[in-house]
Amino acid sequence: MIEFRDPSPWTGRSDPEDGDLALRMHHLAGRADAPVALIGFACDAGVRRNKGNPGAAEGPAAIRASLANLAAPGDPRGFHDAGDLTLTGEDPGPGQQALAEHLAPLLARYGRALVLGGGHETAWGSWQGLRRALPGARIGIVNIDAHLDIRAIGPAGPSSGTPFHQIREADPEGFDYAVLGLAEEGNTEALRSRARDWGVAIIEDHALQITADAGFAVIDAISARNDAIYLTIDLDVLPAAQAPGVSAPAARGMPLHVVEALVARVLASGKVRLADIVELCPPRDQNDRTARTAALIARRLLTAS
């Protein structure tokens, strides 16, 4: 069953004694001139099918809660909260279709949209929404992730491990995909071989431990040859110490400062029309560490020019 929920009122700390510039992110929600839209996809079905640890359905609420009291940047423009799509049941497909249907008009109205997942099955709904909004555009996909998520669809159906396989099936000629932060030990040789056959650009996590420099050329190239960029960030790319609250915590991972630098480089292209943050699993989080990390990334995506 799919349920659409209007956004709850944003609340948080206020410091009126410090004047008009003492703003936090909750003050920016719902501004009339907002250039960015936000929508949640509360879904566990894809993670369950992928034999992972459920809890991702609680992700959107946890990210909002950690985001609300973060300080707003200078010259803030605000964002529109479009609420949440909540999916119950074992098949993520209806929820992904509903996400696409909600995203397309948001993308027509706003310069950029941010989706809060959900497992990485969110990506199939996200991409479909962007394709509906930009039917003739060349769309490049930048995935900051420890995993390729190009598994073939098995008897159980699509899952959080299959979204980019589904995207390629839907648009084989236009499929342009880069994965930054890949963990070799987290991807079978079958998946890595498929990625090579498909021309997927990969930078492994070993090359991204100190700086993000190894990823910049890939980002610049995919941005240059496409009209729009879909940026997807799987929180399991981060070290378990930074992001324990995911279905598959990383033994090594990629440091947050590197992830932030990669995100900044993609945003600098000026072509990011859609982004999502996926795989937050609040029941497995510790002291909201992962939610707070996700909120830092969300803040950047909601406020960047």
- Binding residues for Mn(2+), as ranges, are 120, 145, 147, 149, 234, 236
Contact 277, 41 (CB under 8 A): no
Q: Of all helices (H) and strands (E), which one includes residue 101? A: helix 93-109
Contact 209, 255 (CB under 8 A): yes
Contact 91, 205 (CB under 8 A): no
Using CA atoms, how far apart are residues 160 and 234, in angstroms rounded to an integer?
A: 11
For residue 81, the one-letter residue type is D
SS3 of residue 40 by DSSP: strand
Which residues, in sequence order, are bridge partners of residue 117?
Answer: 41
Contact 253, 240 (CB under 8 A): yes
Q: Where are the beta strands (DSSP E) in 94-250?
A: 112-117, 139-144, 177-182, 201-204, 228-234
279 dihedral zone (left: phi>0; alpha: psi -120 to 50; beta): left
- C-alpha Rg value of the chain to the nearest Å: 18
- The total of other beta-carbon atoms located within 10 Å of residue 198's CB is 16
For residue 65, the one-letter residue type is A
Using CA atoms, how far apart are residues 96 and 86, in angstroms rounded to an integer?
A: 10
DSSP state at residue 52: -
Q: Which residues fall in the annotated binding site?
A: 120, 145, 147, 149, 234, 236
Using CA atoms, how far apart are residues 136 and 291, in angstroms rounded to an integer?
A: 36
Using CA atoms, how far apart are residues 195 and 108, in angstroms rounded to an integer?
A: 32
Which residues, in sequence order, are bridge partners of residue 87?
Answer: 2
